[in-house]
Structure 1
């Protein structure tokens, strides 16, 4: 049985990048994974100063809208860098917040699917043909956490 997640206020919403779980990376506090991810699209570009603006926006929806603004200059390596940026943010979230870590581990071996109707890369898309990269990444994090636990038992 697959586990579907999307909105932060729905079942398994803690798996969403919009869930209210702060992360700290490189000494900076980010309100959500979405804030971190959207801001890092601008790293090394003329729009880099907006990273701090995004970091301080009150909601992940505002962070997403700002990061998706087509008037912004996105870093040229974003197509390859976005996976590493997302990995660092998602892993940090699940290492930091034991409640969401527990929820993730309790999914066992179930397939995790980001049920986004619009995102065909990170989610499954409206017709289910999307890549579900966020769901796959969460399953990688789940495996990583299990391996960390077993390594600590040796």
Structure 2
């Protein structure tokens, strides 16, 4: 079984930092990171403040907001919906994701993210699992039409 264990180089498109427009809850963000960080607050007017931010600034801004009370319960759903939206809305990225076939996707990282990814062999790899789930759903959807 092939393993893609970092979202760099030819696999950078799998990263939430990859620049690809994503429309989520009526707002178009420049990247998934901005959309995800915006969801940390319930105030829609603040969501639009994230829409034009590059991923690094969105992440920084996301660290400064007052987290919504239910964040821990809802963050995985938001991540899933945003990742799915990215690949449904960007056909070339959808094709690239499908081309990863049955590969295991692991967001290997050096910055210590052990929830969404894996660092030094340790982590829950939630982003990788979401990507594989979305890939399977897109594959099933396209099997029915082609």
Q: What TM-score do you get using the length of structure 1 for normalisation?
A: 0.86
Cα offset for 1:53?
1.7
- 2:60 aligns with 65
For 1:143 and 1:102, the matched residues in 2 are separated by: 12
For 2:11 and 2:114, the matched residues in 1 are separated by: 20
The answer to whether 1:121 aligns with 2:115 is yes
For 2:6 and 2:117, the matched residues in 1 are separated by: 10
Preserved CA contact (<8 Å) 1:122 1:132:
yes
- 2:4 aligns with 3
For 1:73 and 1:27, the matched residues in 2 are separated by: 22
Cα offset for 1:49?
4.2
Runs of 4+ deviating beyond 4 Å: none
Preserved CA contact (<8 Å) 1:4 1:12:
no
Equivalent residue pairs, number: 144
Cα offset for 1:51?
2.4
Preserved CA contact (<8 Å) 2:27 2:51:
no
Aligned with 1:109 (options 95, 102, 107): 102
- 1:100 aligns with 93
Aligned with 1:88 (options 75, 81, 97): 81
Preserved CA contact (<8 Å) 1:39 1:50:
yes
> Aligned with 1:68: secondary structure?
helix
Q: CA-to-partner distance for each residue in 1:90-130, whole Å, 9 max, x for gaps?
A: 101101111111111111111001012221110102x2111
Where in structure 1 are there 5+ consecutive unaligned residues? none
- 1:19 aligns with 18
- 2:72 aligns with 79
Where in structure 2 are there 5+ consecutive unaligned residues? none
- 1:50 aligns with 46
Q: What TM-score do you get using the length of structure 2 for normalisation?
A: 0.91
